[in-house]
Amino acid sequence: MKHTHRGYVKMGFFFMALAVGLGAFGAHNLEDLIDEKYLAVWETGVRYLVIHASALIILGLFHRKFVEKFLNMSLRLFILGIILFSGSLLLLSTSTIWSGSKQSFLGAITPIGGLAFIAGWLLLFFKGFETDKDTGGITFKENKSSDSRSHRKHRHSSSKSTSSKNDSEPPVVA
């Protein structure tokens, strides 16, 4: 796994741990402090945090299946979306606690984060895979690492060593 993709996976792990903590905090501590309407806003922020933290982890682990340039752009858009969308919703829903009044300007930031999420997903949809121009189909990038080549050689040589010297005779079962 490339260092950059490992970083995205680790960020996904961090965001997932944060989401669990924030979800538990909201469920156990915010019920008496904020209106039901804002509790639902909190839950939406946490839900989108979980979804996109999962996306960072999964896409980072399966990075070889995607065009790297567009995958990295999408993952950055997801991080931006987490910060702007989820972050603004979490701050907005608790703004009466930490500032004494509703901070409505935070609501203007939320759609920018939502657009970042949408752009990341659409970028993967349209540009995430290499297109094979000869067949018009989608092909995955082949892994050219030495590990996969040595694995294929080992698998091929081990299948030769188990074959019998005379292929016309069936193998003897003991």
- The mean pLDDT of 95-100, rounded to a whole number, is 85
What pLDDT sits at residue 105?
A: 87
| pLDDT interval class at 138 (50, 70, 90) | low
Classify 67 as helix, strand or coil.
coil
The model carries a pTM of 0.74
**Position 64 in a domain:** yes
Count of CB atoms within 10 A of residue 19's CB?
Answer: 22
| pLDDT interval class at 20 (50, 70, 90) | very high
| pLDDT interval class at 42 (50, 70, 90) | very high
Classify 1 as helix, strand or coil.
coil
Query: Domain range holding 64?
Result: 3-146
Burial class (CB in 10 A: 0-12, 13-18, 19+), 97: exposed
Distance CA 38, CA 92 (A): 8
**Position 13 in a domain:** yes
Comparing 124 with 132, which gets the higher pLDDT?
A: 124
**Position 105 in a domain:** yes
- How many domains is the chain partitioned into structurally? 1
Question: Is the Cβ–Cβ distance between 112 and 84 less than 8 Å?
Answer: yes
